[in-house]
Amino acid sequence: MAIDKQILDEVALSQQEYDLIVRRLGREPTIVEIGMFGSLWSEHCGYKHSKPL
């Protein structure tokens, strides 16, 4: 599935964050995984700053 800027904007992920996710997973994430990263890395939750990937 092609991930475009609109999808990343909907889950508040930058292209750099998406690229990091791909590198760490070693594959393209599913749409569900993208949503989960968007939630976990949101300013509200802040897990990006408190938990290692």
Give residue 48's pLDDT.
57
The total number of structural domains in the chain stands at: 1
* Residue 34 tokens, joined: 């993208």
Average pLDDT over residues 22-47: 86
Give the tens place of pLDDT for each residue, 4-30. 899 999 998 999 999 999 999 999 999
Residue 42 pLDDT grade (very low, low, confident, very high; cuts 50, 70, 90): confident
Domain that holds residue 45: 5-50
Give residue 53's pLDDT.
58
Contacts of 35-41 with CB under 8 Å at 24 or more apart are 35/11, 37/11, 37/13, 38/10, 38/11, 38/12, 38/13, 39/11, 41/12, 41/13, 41/17
